[in-house]
Structure 1
């Protein structure tokens, strides 16, 4: 079942200029997180800056200059729940994951496994949105979704 047609865009709203830019993740090890994105996902470190006692950086996909992950490091963050099952992760309120579109979920998961990345469950199809999906996590339990459009 394909996704329904999107409603028309509303250019009359005072928020018409809003578009997505980045999502932020809090990590206990700033340098290790940057290294993980670069070595495991082939992402680029785009910009770094301090904020109080924190260190921040934008990292972005190899070929995308429109979506970033902001890494928040430093200080003494509280530990978070680490999931090994997507369904178990759905019981808590709050931020859950961000999604990356790929040409092939299966090929991407195979390469992530080869690079030692933690895969959270096996790829599956969700017909209601015409997508093949998979989830993986960084070393600190931040979930990332992969999505492939299926016919």
Structure 2
């Protein structure tokens, strides 16, 4: 493995947020709040688009920037994880959780689309599952496999 660079301009890079383009602002903000318990910290309008900064229930170090307004092209929706492997570009963010199974059970209770049921990936030492929002964006939940 590579050793981390501890000096230089790029040594300060840290993940802050990722943006998700959605066609309908109100529906998207409501979905992320109702289905994932995300919190809205700020909403602004810039250049004809509405932006909302959404934080996971227990994490203030990372957020999603929802961008909404006219002109958003549709993404494919995924009910099966393997169908998503055909699309280039960003694939999914991953969330560390205490229990993949408990999170997926709760998301099912909230009628969230599950793209991949919980399963172990021994080569990575992880238990994983994937779910999707109504706009075709995939998300992964992960936990270490306990021996």
Instruction: Work out the number of aligned pairs and report it.
Output: 146
Higher relative contact order (CA 8 A, sep 6+): 1
**Structure 2: 5+ residue stretches without partners:** none
Assess if the C-alpha contact under 8 Å between 2:77 and 2:134 holds in 1.
no
**Structure 1: 5+ residue stretches without partners:** 1-5
SS state of the match for residue 59, structure 1?
strand
* Pairwise CA distance, 1:50: 1.1
RMSD: 1.1
TM-score by length of 1: 0.92
- 1:42 matched to 2:37: yes
Runs of 4+ more than 6 Å apart: none
- What is the alpha-carbon distance in structure 2 between the residues aligned to residue 38 and residue 125 of structure 1? 28
Assess if the C-alpha contact under 8 Å between 2:56 and 2:63 holds in 1.
yes
Aligned to 2:121: 126
Aligned to 1:139: 134
- What is the alpha-carbon distance in structure 2 between the residues aligned to residue 61 and residue 123 of structure 1? 21
